[in-house]
Structures are given as C-alpha cells and as structure tokens.
Amino acid sequence: MKDVALRAGVTKQTVSNVVNKRPVVSPDTVARVEKAVAELGFRSNLLARGLATGQTMIVGLVVPTLTSAFYAEMVEQIENALDGEGYNLVVGTTYGDQDRTRRKLEGLRQRSIDGLLLADDGNVGGQLEIVRETGLPFVLCAWENEIPEDTTVVTFDYEKAGYLAGRQLRQLGHRQVGVVGDLPAHQRRLDGLRRGLGREPAAIVASRESSQRGGYNAAATLLAGAAEVTAIMATHDLLALGVLEAAKQHGRRVPDDLSLVSIDDIEASGQAHPPVTTVAFPIERLAQEATSRLLRAVGTGRRRSGVTTLPPKLVVRASTARSARR
Amino acid sequence: MKDVALRAGVTKQTVSNVVNKRPVVSPDTVARVEKAVAELGFRSNLLARGLATGQTMIVGLVVPTLTSAFYAEMVEQIENALDGEGYNLVVGTTYGDQDRTRRKLEGLRQRSIDGLLLADDGNVGGQLEIVRETGLPFVLCAWENEIPEDTTVVTFDYEKAGYLAGRQLRQLGHRQVGVVGDLPAHQRRLDGLRRGLGREPAAIVASRESSQRGGYNAAATLLAGAAEVTAIMATHDLLALGVLEAAKQHGRRVPDDLSLVSIDDIEASGQAHPPVTTVAFPIERLAQEATSRLLRAVGTGRRRSGVTTLPPKLVVRASTARSARR
DNA sequence: CTGAAAGCGCTTACAG
DNA sequence: CTGAAAGCGCTTACAG
C-alpha cells in the first residue's frame, strides 16, 4: 500500500480511500491511484484490515459432520450465501462430541471471526456458554432439540414435517402404520406423524444406526413383528432407503403392498426405485435466512433473539399409494 | 495483552514469551503471568499474531462441491488433519465453474492464508496461474486429470483402481463386460479396467449424469443393447447404485445373473442390497499426506514438487460372483 | 531473564 | 479533497 502511495504520489490514506471507494477523492487522484494499483497488482490485506476495523469477513460454522447429505447441503448453501456477501467460511465438525465441540469453539473464538453459525448436533447446546462468553453474534441453525433462551434461531418446523407425512398416509387410507425412527432425536417428527395420522402408529421401531443399514434392520424387525402395517414412515431418508430394501426383501412391493413415506428429501430419495415420497426442508432458504440474520447482527452490533421457523413441504413420489385394505 | 502485563506487573513482551512458551522467563514470572491470564480469561488474538508473524494458521481448500460423498469425506478428513496441527480450514466450492473458481482463488489470496489445497474439478487446473501468482504453497489433491508441471500432488492410482476391478471380474470368469462410466473424466479407470480384464469391454455407455439416476439410465441402455454381458463395471459408486436398480428392474439378479463392480467405496455401497464390490481409495491417508506436505512447505518455505500416488484397494462384497457362462 | 522500540498493513479521526 | 498521527494486538530483534 505504501508502494502504491509512493507510485501514485499520494499518501497511504488516500490509497485506502480509493480502494474502499470512499467518494472523497478527486477523480484525478482516483485514476492515478488505480493505475498504480493495477501496475503493482496490489490487493489489500484482509488480515490487516480486519485488525484495524475489527471485522474479519469470516464466519465460523460448526456442524456435527459433513458426511451426511443434509449437512453437506447446508454447508454448501451457507458458503454460497456468505460468498455473495464477500464473506469466507471456516468450518469445524464436532461429531457430536463434547470435548471436540468445546475445542472447536475455543479455536474459533481466537480467530476474531465476525460471527458463528451453529447447527444442532444435540450437544453444541451444552456448549453455548462458551459461545455466549465470546460475545460473538451467533445463529442457531436447523435446531431440532429444545431451543435455548435468548438466541436467534432459524430452523424448520419438524413437527409439521411429521404431520405432512402422517396426513398423506391418512388420506391414502392407511390405518396400520409402522414407524422406523431415529429416536428420541426425531421425537417431534413422530409427534407430528401422530397428529397427521389422527391415531397411534401400530408399531414403532427405533433404529440403532442413523443409516441405511439401520433403516433396513429396523424395518426387518418391524415387518416381522407387525405384518399388518400397510405403510411405514421413516423419520429420515437414509432410514427410508433401508426400509425400501427391507420391504423388497420381505416380498412387499412398494407401493402396492406397502407405502413408504419419509422426511428430508436427500437426492438419493428421488433416485431410488420407486422414488420415495418424502418431506423436503428448504435448506437454501435456511442458509439465506441464517446468514442474513447473522450478518445483520454483525453489522448493527445488535443481538435480536427470535425464532424463524421455515415450513417443510411434502414431495409426493411413487412410494405411496392408496391402502389396499380399506 | 496489555492488561495482562499490567496485572502481572511485567511487559507485553514477557506476556508474549509466556503465552508462546518460550523458555526464557523465570518460573516465578511465568506463574504470575499465567495467573493474570487465567483471571482475565486472556486468549491471544490470532489475527494480530498473523499480521506480525505472517502466519495465519489458516489453510484454504477448494473443492468442486460438498454434496458428493467423496468430497465431503475428503473435506472432513482434511479438516481433521489440519485440526491436529492447530490450523483452521476455510472452504470454497467451485462447481467446476471457471469464473467461480477464479473468484474463490482471488478471495483466498487476500486472506493471507498459509497455504492452499486444491481438489481436481477438471477446471481448477486452468486457474493454476492465479495460484502460482500468489506465491502460496499449494498441494493438488485427488488429481485425476493430467498433472501440471512443477507441482506437489497427492493423488490416487486411478488406473490401478480400474485394474483391480477388471482383474476381479476376469478372475471370476467374466468375458463379456459392460462399462457404465463417467467419461471422459474417468478415462484412467477405464484404461485400468481394460488392462485388468485383458480385453476390450463388450460395451461402454457414458452416463449423462454423474448420479444414481445417470447410472440407472446408462445401465438400462447397456442391458438393452448388450444382453450378453455377464458383468458391469461402473466407474464410480453412485453410478453403480443406479446400475444395481436397473439390473433388478431388468430381471437380472445380482450377482447370480450379473456381477457388478465399482470404484470409490462410498458408504452407501456397503449398505446396498447386495453390498457392492468396489475399489476403495484411502481418503484419510490422502488428507494426512496432503496436509503434512503442505504444512511442511509452509514451515520451510521450500516448495518441493513431486507426485505421491496412493494405492487403492479392492473391497470384495456380494455383488460379484463367478460367471455362470464359462 | 526483562524492558523499550519498531513494525506487520491497514483504518480512523482530525487538521489543513 | 489531501496529509500527518495514532492505533488495532501481536512479535521480533536489540539493549540492558
């Protein structure tokens, strides 16, 4: 910057004014400075600027994992939203581990990042103290557990997701419905299902693993013990893919002999055979809302708490049909 | 830091020495300073330190996307490796888009990051100029295209991956083998297949989409046109999952009527029915090698070019069996 | 082993 | 509209 100033025959300060497009410099000088900038290939050092202004243009994001279609999509969308505002993203994964979460948070705090985005991992909630101590603005994202006091959160209506799934089955005439679920994590989805169904599920099997294999095993158990079910709801798509396999294995054709509905709408669900009817969460909107709220807090310095709940949407595909038994 | 110094009755410099554990301070003073640090909850500001030392302890990572099991896994492993060394990761996605890549790279360069990790997206190679201009140490990761001159790269032996898949089919007696491929991107895998098979594939269908659906469609085409094939190789697992569906749809049981082998070993492959025989790449090792090489370059300032090629490994599962036709 | 000074590359008031 | 000064929070020589 000094070099640029020298070359343009002005002061560092004037260079700064030009670079930051502050309209206080004569067109003449601007031109001279810009020429020098171009010739020297000068780019301002964000680090130094950050130190001087207290704004680093970096946002931290803490997620349980990246190797889950849902979080991967979320991180990607957040990076996009941030990119549009000139911000960079530093990510940390917690694996739902207390110590790791604490370490990540402590690490980020030293980075002088401008704000923090936290995804629910059923654990980070317990570490909120650390976040609060930093005084950093933060937004809770996709929070499925109980929502902490005095926080800004952008999340989905998980209960409604369950409701939409249940209502769909009900409208198709299903009375005996089985549930394969990631429980108790997805308790709200289950509550919603009950409401949509207008009755208790005939059987509920909690999956041990939050994976396709887990869904397969749980569905196998369920179908063996409750053969009367005409439909199954999975509390998320990965489980549903396993349920689909298990159903085929048990000689139940989907959707003729068994309807399947799920929640999440990961890409694989739409590409399964048959494609799975599921409930989609507007992840892109979440990313936009969360970042815009965070950046607003960064800009104003004000911390307005409040919960934004985004509505899920039913995506009807071929895995659901009218119940044969009426 | 000034506050800490005041409280401990020493100078900023001494505080700095204590915080950085430089063994030049009397135990006495160390204790006093540490007490003050604890009382004030002081943490050194990495930003300021970065400005002073020229090391930010941040590494940039540029990948085509996060919503692909392979890259997600890679990013996660890199974050882990970096975390172990006290580094933070800022990620950028390119979507294989020229302009976006350029923008990302320009953005990172202003950040004074310590180094850059670049994943092959078939495009970033063209932008290597920008990276070189920055003078930043960088390492190319999982490079499947042609390897640029004078670079450090840590990658997999893609040809061998294809070879292992082909050899497996050959050993099982398959002579008529079909290929469903992401071509020309996966040309090397195909070359390897040829070598392992010891002959030309009976049919090759390039998939239009790099997804399960793409694999399904390509396999449908292939099975319709070349019914004589006793085995199919997919050039990556997502395609293979689609092939599996298509085979079932066409009444070909896997592996009895059709063997299926693939490459990548994403989690879903092991959980499909039947689980897919595939070739695994040691992503964790790649992450470790790439970061350790990068950090070594950061530390020494020396840029040693060279290619590290990591060997893939065949994972035999239930989708392959001896050819019925002999 | 400890302290005073200069500097990393920027920005923010404040005079002129 | 332009320039000289001080400061962001640290570190790096260099004296004492």
Is the pLDDT score of B16 beyond 50? yes
- Give residue-wise pLDDT tens across range B207-231: 999 999 999 999 999 999 999 999 9
Report the mean per-residue pLDDT for chain B. Answer: 94
Helix (H, G, I), strand (E, B) or coil at A92: strand
Task: Among all protein residues, pick the one whose CA is nearest to the C1' atom of C9.
Answer: A48
A82 closest CA partner among A114, A46, A50: A114
Tell me how far apart the alpha carbons of residues B88 and A191 are, in angstroms, rounded to a whole number.
Answer: 40
- Give residue-wise pLDDT tens across range B110-146: 999 999 999 988 778 788 888 998 889 999 999 998 9
* Confidence band, pLDDT 50/70/90 cuts, at residue A126: confident
Nucleotide nearest to A53 (CA to C1'): C11
Strand order in the sheet with A177-181: A203-206, A177-181, A231-234, A259-264, A277-280, A313-315
- Note whether B114 contacts A: Cβ–Cβ < 8 A: no
Report the mean per-residue pLDDT for chain A. Answer: 94
Q: Is the peptide bond before B255 cis (omega within 30 degrees of 0)?
A: yes
Residue A10 CA and nucleotide D4 C1' are separated, in Å, by 12
Query: In this predicted model, which residue has the larger pLDDT, A217 or A24?
Result: A217
Q: What is the mean pLDDT of residues B258-269?
A: 97
Phi, psi of A259 (to 5 degrees): -90, 150
Residue B37 to residues A110, B48, B293, Cα–Cα distance (Å): 14, 18, 35
Task: Among all protein residues, pick the one whose CA is nearest to the C1' atom of C5.
Answer: B13
Task: Tell me the H-state helices in chain B.
Answer: 2-8, 12-19, 27-40, 46-53, 69-84, 98-110, 128-134, 158-171, 187-197, 212-225, 237-249, 267-271, 283-300
- The continuous run of DSSP H or E covering B181 comes out as strand B177-181
Helix (H, G, I), strand (E, B) or coil at B24: coil
Sign, CA dihedral B114-B146-B312-B181, equals: positive
A chain contacts of residue B112, beta-carbon cutoff 8 Å: 45-47
Task: Among all protein residues, pick the one whose CA is nearest to the C1' atom of C13.
Answer: A13
- Predicted local distance difference test score (pLDDT) of residue B2: 84
Q: What is the mean pLDDT of residues A44-49?
A: 93
Tell me how far apart the alpha carbons of residues A266 and A279 are, in angstroms, rounded to a whole number.
Answer: 10
- Predicted local distance difference test score (pLDDT) of residue A326: 45
- Predicted local distance difference test score (pLDDT) of residue A125: 77
Return the minimum-mean-pLDDT range out of A10-24, A56-70, A255-269.
A10-24
* Confidence band, pLDDT 50/70/90 cuts, at residue A199: very high
- Predicted local distance difference test score (pLDDT) of residue B325: 64
Is the pLDDT score of A39 beyond 60? yes
Distance in Å, alpha carbon of B302 to nearest chain A alpha carbon = 23
Question: CB–CB of A271 and B73 under 8 A?
Answer: no
Cβ–Cβ < 8 Å for B172, B198: no
B48, B89, B249: residue with CB nearest A91: B89
B114 closest CA partner among B56, B62, B61: B56
Cβ–Cβ < 8 Å for A7, A39: yes
Q: Is the peptide bond before A274 cis (omega within 30 degrees of 0)?
A: yes
Residue A19 CA and nucleotide D4 C1' are separated, in Å, by 20
Beta strands B152-156 and A313-315 are unpaired
- Note whether A79 contacts B: Cβ–Cβ < 8 A: yes
For strand C, give the nucleotides within 7 A of a protein CB: 1-5, 7-13
Say which residues have a Cβ less than 8 Å from residue A217's Cβ, sequence separation at least 6: A207, A208, A209, A242, A246
- Predicted local distance difference test score (pLDDT) of residue B196: 98
Say which residues have a Cβ less than 8 Å from residue B53's Cβ, sequence separation at least 6: none
A219 closest CA partner among A184, A178, A162: A178
Count CA atoms within 13 Å of residue A241 on its CB side. 23
* Confidence band, pLDDT 50/70/90 cuts, at residue A310: very high
Residue of A nearest to B271 (CA): A213
- Predicted local distance difference test score (pLDDT) of residue A3: 85
Cβ–Cβ < 8 Å for A243, A180: yes
Q: What is the mean pLDDT of residues A128-154?
A: 92
Is the pLDDT score of B326 beyond 50? no
Distance in Å, alpha carbon of B91 to nearest chain A alpha carbon = 6
Tell me how far apart the alpha carbons of residues A58 and A61 are, in angstroms, rounded to a whole number.
Answer: 10
Question: CB–CB of B91 and A89 under 8 A?
Answer: yes
> Tokens 């654990």 correspond to what residue?
A123
